[in-house]
């Protein structure tokens, strides 16, 4: 049975979907194909992430079932995963948003569209009032997406030992 936000429409050919068991294969392919691209701007997930992927996927679904996190995948017309937009640590009307978009979809407004859509869901469907995000200072693309989607800088932070910024947005 699906809920109203299982198939959120983005500008074609993309669909935003809550993470499901049947996303595992496409999600693993996405992570493998983009590993080097992501490692240029965010810490690498490490080999263990890939070797234990099935177990990790089941753990994410179990965590999502508790309502503490909501994991979204951005699915292309052919069923391929083109990105992820996650809401984690949901508590007291707040959550942290994180996202990653495939290299082949970057620079086309995909991240901005997906983050806009998840922000709308955060308020309308999930009952959240505030979202936070963090990014490293050298990740200009991520900072631009946050600015375009209504996030404002809220102070300096560290992201895995690297200088970064914390952002906040009311939804």
Whole-angstrom distance, CA of residue 151 vs CA of residue 112:
12
d(CA 124, CA 119): 9
pLDDT value of residue 161 = 86
Length of the chain (residues): 171
Give, for 13, the enclosing helix (H) or strand (E).
Answer: none
Instruction: Divide the 171 residues of the chain into consecutive groups of 10 and give the mean pLDDT of each group.
Output: 42 81 96 91 81 94 96 93 96 96 89 95 96 93 95 94 94 95
Strand ranges inside the chain, DSSP E: 8-9, 15-18, 70-75, 81-91, 94-101, 130-136, 152-159, 162-170
Q: What is the pTM of this model?
A: 0.87
Q: From CA 12, how far away is CA 64, in angstroms rounded?
A: 26
Query: Which domains, from first to last, does the chain contain?
Result: 8-170 (3.40.630.30)
CA–CA dist 71, 50 (Å, integer):
18
């Amino acid at each position: 049975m699906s809920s109203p936000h299982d198939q959120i429409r983005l500008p074609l050919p993309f669909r935003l979907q809550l993470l499901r068991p049947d996303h595992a294969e496409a999600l693993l392919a996405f992570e493998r194909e983009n590993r080097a691209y992501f490692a240029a701007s965010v810490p690498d997930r490490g080999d263990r992430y890939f070797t234990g992927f099935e177990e990790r996927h089941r753990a994410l679904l179990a965590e999502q079932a508790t309502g503490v996190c909501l994991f979204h995948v951005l699915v292309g017309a052919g069923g391929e995963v083109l990105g992820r937009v996650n809401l984690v640590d949901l508590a007291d009307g707040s959550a942290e948003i994180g996202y990653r978009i495939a290299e082949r979809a970057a620079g086309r407004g995909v991240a901005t569209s997906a983050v806009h859509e998840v922000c709308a869901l955060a308020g309308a469907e999930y009952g959240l009032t505030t979202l936070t995000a963090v990014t490293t200072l050298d990740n200009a693309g991520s900072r631009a997406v946050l600015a375009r989607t209504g996030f404002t800088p809220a102070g300096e932070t560290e992201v895995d030992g690297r200088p970064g910024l914390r952002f906040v947005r009311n939804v």
